[in-house]
C-alpha cells in the first residue's frame, strides 16, 4: 500500500476519534459557546462565528503537531 492511502486511513481514524471525543466531552466543555464567539441574531437572520473556539482548537492542534515533531 502506498503512502497516500495510509495517510488517508490515519486521517480518517483521527477524525473519527476527534468526533467521538467532541460528542462525549461536548457536554462538559463549552466549545462553540465560549466568551468571545460572535453571535448576531436579528429578525429572520442569525450569524454565528466561533472566533475564540477556532483559536483554542488551533492552539491545541498546533501543540499536538509540535509534540509529534519533537518525539519523531
Q: Give me the pLDDT at residue 23, please.
A: 84
The DSSP output letter for 55 is: H
Contact between 13 and 1 under an 8 Å Cβ cutoff? The reply is no
Mean pLDDT of the chain: 89
Q: Is the pLDDT of residue 1 over 80?
A: no
Question: pTM of this prediction?
Answer: 0.63
Confidence grade of residue 12 (pLDDT, cut at 50, 70, 90): very high
Q: Give me the pLDDT at residue 43, please.
A: 93
Q: Give me the pLDDT at residue 16, please.
A: 95
Question: 38 in the Ramachandran plot: left (φ > 0), alpha (ψ -120 to 50) or beta?
Answer: beta
Amino acid at each position: 500500500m502506498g503512502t497516500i492511502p495510509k495517510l488517508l486511513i490515519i486521517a480518517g481514524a483521527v477524525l473519527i476519534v476527534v468526533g467521538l471525543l467532541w460528542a462525549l466531552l461536548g457536554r462538559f466543555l463549552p466549545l462553540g459557546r465560549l466568551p468571545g464567539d460572535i453571535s448576531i441574531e436579528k429578525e429572520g437572520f442569525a450569524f454565528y462565528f466561533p472566533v475564540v473556539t477556532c483559536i483554542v482548537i488551533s492552539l491545541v492542534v498546533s501543540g499536538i503537531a509540535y509534540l509529534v515533531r519533537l518525539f519523531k
